[in-house]
């Protein structure tokens, strides 16, 4: 083995200004490297170069997206529905849900690592988002997993999907956290670039809120949790900031390796430390590892920190300082603790068998100073690392092909006309990869551990009880139709938001706030940046009108293989509050003899629909219209209908037909309905702002009056009962046949 080069200290860097450095290999541009030299007044040391490279990466710095994201911060005070206790810029957003409780939630991506190593990439995605929630002072209580894959019959889908699902389930199950929902969507554009988005929800009392800052000169900086190893050096920070070549990722740094049992100890240890009041500031170690934790804590506090890097416990003693700073080894936290509390902090860590070491202290120098065996290897202004990275005004322009795409409307496609053809279409969609039963996936997750899960997949939203005495609860949904976003990214982002908003409302919860995970292709493509800018603008405008804030989220760019970008996929998570979860409204039909109603307006809106995708392989036209006032009125009606409605199911992918399929199969209760006008449009249009609800026969007048009060169109569809789904005058499908078709797809493909 060759000898290591001499340590590159700050003094050496000053005396050796012209040394060649691998800045390009670390993902930096020439002007970025030059700016680092200007900030420092010299060339960076190898350790400083490592820190800047990971912290200025696309994944960590948001350098291509922050000019568009700032509008979310600007609207926070214009959305008074939910009182935010912490928002954008923190590890996760925190929102008041009443009774002295707050809820923190966030959705993030782990896309590229999950392609390289599906199990560990997905597992550590769950672990990372759980630690973000923990760092806010909250107990994690549930997770969700919005997933996107290539075609179900593709060889690479068969490689990544089982590993990703096993990773999500394996890590979450070991932590004892219920997985209460998510999505699994298949499309050609995700081939070679699956999306693994992970969401976590945590609960805390208002007084338990903790923030990521290092304040108080002389306070001690403690690193605790797992040891630092070579796994994940440059991991998500570099890997998620580069486009994959057609033959695979151009860079394959080691993907992080997760240990959920260590994370469980870390959670319980940290919560006991919080309860003892021993923490002045805290940060989890995720993307960019120690580089991120030290620079962000210092820059958010008094601005100074000194660290002895050689005190960091290692799994690999051969790691160089820059490798230690870049490592994204999992299950680690960093806390700022007053000197008098250190002994007690260490006692609690020892009780939980969690290794903890003092590695530094808070200073008032305004500098982040890191030493290696007594020699200074880092001396930087921490804000320049953590918060003052590059800001790109990437050029963006509506692509030339957008007009032709929108002109190619699905409404002109051949459509079924007879009852037999409509019947065959219902079955074909029910068994299609995007609409079929996802139990093959969700059965690998524990959805009910901890005993507080109220609703879980396949319900419209996941719902968790957060207070066992009062039954206060929260509901969460994630959604996005990438086809809609491709047709019109402004409307597509709004449609993702309103579907999640509607899903939360159908359970009876009042929507309070959103978190987003914005998955797009290369920001160096003006068409992609236009999609991104339009999606952000759409979300901002919708949030203002709906009166709900963006509490935080994540941007994932460079999601493309070669020249093929993914469908623009702005996943939106909506969180709502419900005062009493025992009164929630279930998704499926609950009893025979009840009256079925359609709420909302159906239009001939078929472009971007599941019917056009499955039957014709077509994408073109304009997506369904968004009516935010109608969505708000519907959500209010659904909340006011608690105790009146016996079931409620939103209409989205697959239209009314698929909503009826899912509602009948949930409890095995059939239905007979009448569809007025064009039966095909009534069954398969995907107009937004709609829901199917049921009430007992004696409550019809009450529901009708409630709909009139809120200005929500209402139409009687039929009645529940029997062992078939019947569309009067058109067709009948026995529930046994329907269930067989709906449940067979994933097991047959993935056996």
Residues recognised as catalytic? 59, 110
Q: For residue 489, how many other CB atoms are within 10 A of its CB?
A: 27
- Residue 495's contacts (CB-CB under 8 Å, 6 or more residues apart) are 481, 484, 485, 623, 624, 626, 688
Locate 65 and state its tokens: 């997206």
CA–CA dist 573, 474 (Å, integer):
13
Q: Which of 533, 503, 504, 499 is nearest to 518 (CA)?
A: 533
- Residue 684's contacts (CB-CB under 8 Å, 6 or more residues apart) are 425, 429, 606, 609, 611, 654, 655, 656, 657
Please answer whether residues 94 and 563 qualify as being in contact, where contact means their C-beta atoms are separated by less than 8 angstroms: no
Please answer whether residues 577 and 583 qualify as being in contact, where contact means their C-beta atoms are separated by less than 8 angstroms: no
**Where are any strands of DSSP class E within 345-452?**
356-363, 368-372, 375-380
Helix axes 628-640, 489-506, angle to 10 degrees: 10
The CA-CA-CA angle for residues 262, 553, 541, to 5°, reads 165
Determine whether 749 is exposed, middle or buried from the number of CB atoms within 10 Å of its CB (0-12, 13-18, 19+).
middle
CA–CA dist 120, 237 (Å, integer):
16
Please answer whether residues 742 and 658 qualify as being in contact, where contact means their C-beta atoms are separated by less than 8 angstroms: no
Q: Which of 206, 103, 84, 90 is nearest to 475 (CA)?
A: 103
Q: Where are the alpha helices (DSSP H) in 259-401?
A: 260-275, 289-300, 321-326, 342-351, 382-386
Q: Is the peptide bond before 458 cis (omega within 30 degrees of 0)?
A: yes
Please answer whether residues 297 and 383 qualify as being in contact, where contact means their C-beta atoms are separated by less than 8 angstroms: no
Locate 590 and state its tokens: 């609950």
Q: Where are the alpha helices (DSSP H) in 547-654?
A: 610-616, 628-640
Please answer whether residues 477 and 681 qualify as being in contact, where contact means their C-beta atoms are separated by less than 8 angstroms: no
Q: Which of 500, 613, 414 is nearest to 146 (CA)?
A: 500
One DSSP character per residue, 132-187 reads: HHHTTT-EEEEEEEEEEES-TT-HHHHHHHHHHHHHHHHHHHHHT--EEEEEEEE-
Locate 747 and state its tokens: 């097991």
One DSSP character per residue, 49-100 reads: HHHHHHHTSHHHH-TTTHHHHHHHHHTGGG--SS-EEE-BTBSSEEEEEETT
The alpha carbon of 220 is separated from its chain's Cα centroid by a whole number of angstroms, namely: 33
Give Cα separations from 421 to 258, 415, 416, 417, 731 (angstroms): 50, 9, 5, 6, 9
DSSP H or E stretch at residue 650: strand 647-650
Q: For residue 221, how many other CB atoms are within 10 A of its CB?
A: 25
SS (H, E, C) 486-541: HHCHHHHHHHHHHHHHHHHHHCCCEEEEEEEEEECCCCCCHHHHHHHHHHHHHHHH
Locate 173 and state its tokens: 């199950």
Give Cα separations from 201 to 109, 131, 133, 334, 335 (angstroms): 15, 11, 7, 21, 22
């Amino acid at each position: 083995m060759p000898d290591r080069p001499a340590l590159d200290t700050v003094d050496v860097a000053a005396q050796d200004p012209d040394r060649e450095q691998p800045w390009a290999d670390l993902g930096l541009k020439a002007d970025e490297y030059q700016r680092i030299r200007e900030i420092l007044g010299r060339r960076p040391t190898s350790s400083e170069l490592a820190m800047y490279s990971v912290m200025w990466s696309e994944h960590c710095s948001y350098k291509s997206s922050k000019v568009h994201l700032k509008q979310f911060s600007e609207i926070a005070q214009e959305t008074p529905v939910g009182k935010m206790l912490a928002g954008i810029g923190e590890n996760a957003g925190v929102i008041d849900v009443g009774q002295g409780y707050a809820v923190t939630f966030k959705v993030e991506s782990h896309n590229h690592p999950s392609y390289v190593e599906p199990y560990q990439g997905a597992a550590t995605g769950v672990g990372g988002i759980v630690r973000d929630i923990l760092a806010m002072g909250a107990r994690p209580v549930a997770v969700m997993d919005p997933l996107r894959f290539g075609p179900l019959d593709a060889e690479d889908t068969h490689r990544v999907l089982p590993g990703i699902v096993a990773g999500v389930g394996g890590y979450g199950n070991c932590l004892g956290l219920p997985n209460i929902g998510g999505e699994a969507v298949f499309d050609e554009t995700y081939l070679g670039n699956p999306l693994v988005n992970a969401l976590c929800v945590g609960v805390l009392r208002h007084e338990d809120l903790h923030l990521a800052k290092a304040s108080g000169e002389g306070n001690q900086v403690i690193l605790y949790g797992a040891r630092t190893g070579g796994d994940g050096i440059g991991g998500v920070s570099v890997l998620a900031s580069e486009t994959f070549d057609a033959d695979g990722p151009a860079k394959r740094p080691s993907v992080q390796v997760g240990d959920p049992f260590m994370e469980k100890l870390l959670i319980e240890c940290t919560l006991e430390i919080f309860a003892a009041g021993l923490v002045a500031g805290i940060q989890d170690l995720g993307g960019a590892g120690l580089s991120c934790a030290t620079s962000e804590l210092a820059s958010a506090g008094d601005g100074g920190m000194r660290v002895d890097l050689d005190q960091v416990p290692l799994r690999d003693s051969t790691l160089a300082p820059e490798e230690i700073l870049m490592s994204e080894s999992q299950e680690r936290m960093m806390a700022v603790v007053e000197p008098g509390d250190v002994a007690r902090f260490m006692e609690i860590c020892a009780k939980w068998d969690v290794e903890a070491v003092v590695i530094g202290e808070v200073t008032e120098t305004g500098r982040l100073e890191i030493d290696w065996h007594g020699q200074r290897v880092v001396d930087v202004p921490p804000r320049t690392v953590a918060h003052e990275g590059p800001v790109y005004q990437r050029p963006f322009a509506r692509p030339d092909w957008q007009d032709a795409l929108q002109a190619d409307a699905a409404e002109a496609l051949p459509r079924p006309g007879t009852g037999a053809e409509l019947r065959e279409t219902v079955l074909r969609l029910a068994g299609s990869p995007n609409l079929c039963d996802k139990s093959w996936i969700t059965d690998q997750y524990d959805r009910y551990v901890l005993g507080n899960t109220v609703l879980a997949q396949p319900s419209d939203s996941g719902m968790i009880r957060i207070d066992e005495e009062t039954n206060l609860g929260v509901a969460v949904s994630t959604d996005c139709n990438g086809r809609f976003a491709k047709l019109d990214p402004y409307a597509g982002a709004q449609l993702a938001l309103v579907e999640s908003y509607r899903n939360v409302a159908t359970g009876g919860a009042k929507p309070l706030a959103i978190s987003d995970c914005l998955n797009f292709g290369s920001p160096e493509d003006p068409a992609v940046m236009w999609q991104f800018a339009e999606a952000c603008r759409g979300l901002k405008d919708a949030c203002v009108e709906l009166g709900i804030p963006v509490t935080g989220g994540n941007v994932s760019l460079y999601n493309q293989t070669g020249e093929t970008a993914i469908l623009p996929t702005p996943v939106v998570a909506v969180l709502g509050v419900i005062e009493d979860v025992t009164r929630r409204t279930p998704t499926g039909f609950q009893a025979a003899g009840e009256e079925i109603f359609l709420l909302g307006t159906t239009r001939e809106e078929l472009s971007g629909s599941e019917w056009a995708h499955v039957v014709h392989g077509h994408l073109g036209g304009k997506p369904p219209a968004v009516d935010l006032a109608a969505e708000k009125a519907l959500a209010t009606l659904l909340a006011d209908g608690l105790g009146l409605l016996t079931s409620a199911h939103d209409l989205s992918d697959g239209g009314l037909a698929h909503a009826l399929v899912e509602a009948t199969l949930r409890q095995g209760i059939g239905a007979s309905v009448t569809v007025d006008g064009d039966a095909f449009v009534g069954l398969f249009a995907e107009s937004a702002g709609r829901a199917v609800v049921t009430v007992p026969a004696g409550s019809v007048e009450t529901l009708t009056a409630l709909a009139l009060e809120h200005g929500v169109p209402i139409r009687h569809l039929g009645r529940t009962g029997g062992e078939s789904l019947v569309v009067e005058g058109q067709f009948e499908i026995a529930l046994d046949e329907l269930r067989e078709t709906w449940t067979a797809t994933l097991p047959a493909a993935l056996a």
